[in-house]
Structures are given as structure tokens and as C-alpha cells.
Amino acid sequence: MNGESVAISVEGIRKSFGRKEVLRDVSFSVKKGSIHGLLGHNGAGKTTLFRIILCLLNPNEGNVGIFGRDVKEEPTVKSKIGYVSEHPAFYSSLTVKENLVRFGNLKGVEDCERAVEELISRLELSEYANMKFAKLSMGTKQRVAIARAMMNSPELLLLDEFLANIDPVWRHRLKDMLKSLVKEGVTILLSTHILADVEELCEDVTVIRMGKILYSGNLNDLYRKTGLKSTLVRVNTSDNSKARQILAREDIAIDENGALLIPVENTEEIPRLVNILTDHKLSVYEVKEFKPSLEEVYARSHGD
């Protein structure tokens, strides 16, 4: 990846709090105009890393570059960044609109009132615009946080577990919004512990566990490298032993109840598998999809 195509470069970051090392030689890069997933459980070091990228924390070692500029030497590059934390902080006694206007003025946003109105409309916050922030639900607070992050028309968005408290309808709509932002040229670094979100949104992923990078690169390459597929299908038939012979695949496993566990590249393969079995006069009683867990990704990435 050449320097001109890189939005974020993280090189050799180490961070300790007292004797506890929370980031251990962390290095990865994020392509411009992409959604890059930072995948790890709570406590893996994701938020600490975000705070270092934002210059809110100093690393013990290492450097961070944003669009080819060192954030410590050129702090003005932070004006290109929007940030949404898992637990957004606002003035609880101010309304949604008052909070956004105050933030926009602090950021020096031109025509701040108009920008606020546009974001309130885009995120369908009109009914909450004059409501005090303290009275909002967690999901609505997170939508206000997204509006705030977009106030300065950022070229880079850092989203730290921002989907965690969003209801299913708005999760879907916000994912669509992220895809639209990328088409407009925005780069997004999205931290999450939910593998399905990464699969839906991200081409590239960085897997972090206990402050150490286990993998960074293309998500499909991760599946190929670890032997994980994006979908595992549990199949029960009238004769599972015969079904396994018919399919004649070495990667089929048997679970504790005797069902077949079949890895597939995508769900379009499933009807074909069922047709093969029924063509051989077998009755198919169960077909159930499973996704690999984050624990499986950890286990198979470890030591690679």
C-alpha cells in the first residue's frame, strides 16, 4: 500500500498504564475511502488506540500518521477527523440543537445553524431537537453523537462501538449511511466486537486481542488463512453417514449430535447442497446457518 492511498498508519504503538501494558507493538494501516474494521472484545485496547490516534493519549512508543502527516507534529490534521465514542458526552441540561450548535461554533463550522438543521434532518432527529440531552434514549444519544462527528464534514470517521446501543432498524439505516459516506470519499475506522458487522461493512479488518494485533488485512484472506469460512451450515438428513459420502468433502465435520457441519463460501451454496442430497433420495430435516464467533477468529489467528 503506497503512502498516497493510506488514511491512517499506525506504527509500533506501545502504551502502558503503570505496569499494565495495554497496547503491544501495534502496527496496521487503513486505506483511503474504505471502512476498516477493528475487531476485538471489550478491553482489547481498541478505545485506547483511538485515543492515541486522536492525540488524547500519548503512546510510550510509536507513531500515528493521518493522511501522511504525523499527528504529534501537525496536530491541525485532527480537524479532518470525526469521532463517535461508545458513551458520548454532551451537556445534559442543553437540548440536542443547543449541543450541536455549541460544538459547531467551537469547531468553527461555517453557517453552523444550517449545518445543524441539515444533520438533524438527515438523522431524523427533528422531534428531539428541542429535548434536553439527558432525557434521550441511548440509541438516540448515539445518533446525536454521529451528527456531532459529522459537523465538520470529516474526511476520516473513528467509530468506537457506535452501533452497540442502536435499535435494529437504525442499525440497518446507519450502516447504509456509512456505505454512502465511503462513496463520497470518507474513510471509516470502525471498532466492534461483533463479527457480523465487520462482514457486512468491511473489506479489511484488524484483529486485536489483549493489546496485540493477531491479524491485519483483507477479511476474505483471513478466512482463507485460518480455514474459517463466513458461514457454517448444520445439516440433518435421514442418513447423515450416506450424506457425507455423497458430498465427498474433506472439510465436513460431525457435531456431538451426529449432524453434518459444512463450511460454505456464501449462502447461495446451501440450496445446491440440499438439491444434491434430495436427488440421492435423502430427506433433509434441518438446515441451519452459523457464523464463526470472535473466539474462533482469535483461536485460529493466534500465532499467525
The 10s digit of each residue's pLDDT in 208-259 is: 999 999 999 998 888 777 766 667 788 999 999 999 999 988 778 888 788 8
In tens, the pLDDT along 163-213 reads: 877 888 888 888 999 999 999 999 999 999 888 888 889 999 999 999 999
pLDDT at 134: 95
247 contact partners, CB below 8 Å, separation of at least 6: 260, 262, 273, 276, 277
pLDDT > 90? residue 293: no
Mean of per-residue pLDDT scores for the chain: 89
Question: Can you tell me whether residue 214 is helix, strand or coil?
Answer: strand
281 contact partners, CB below 8 Å, separation of at least 6: none
d(CA 300, CA 137): 38
87 contact partners, CB below 8 Å, separation of at least 6: none
Please name the fold of domain 228-301.
Alpha-Beta Plaits (3.30.70)
The answer to whether 226 and 213 have CB atoms below 8 angstroms apart is no
The answer to whether 287 and 271 have CB atoms below 8 angstroms apart is no
d(CA 141, CA 144): 5
CATH class of 3-224: alpha beta
The answer to whether 304 and 214 have CB atoms below 8 angstroms apart is yes
pLDDT > 50? residue 132: yes
CA Rg value for the chain: 23
Strand 6-17 to strand 20-31: parallel, antiparallel, or no bridges (unpaired)?
antiparallel
Domain spans of the chain? 3-224, 228-301
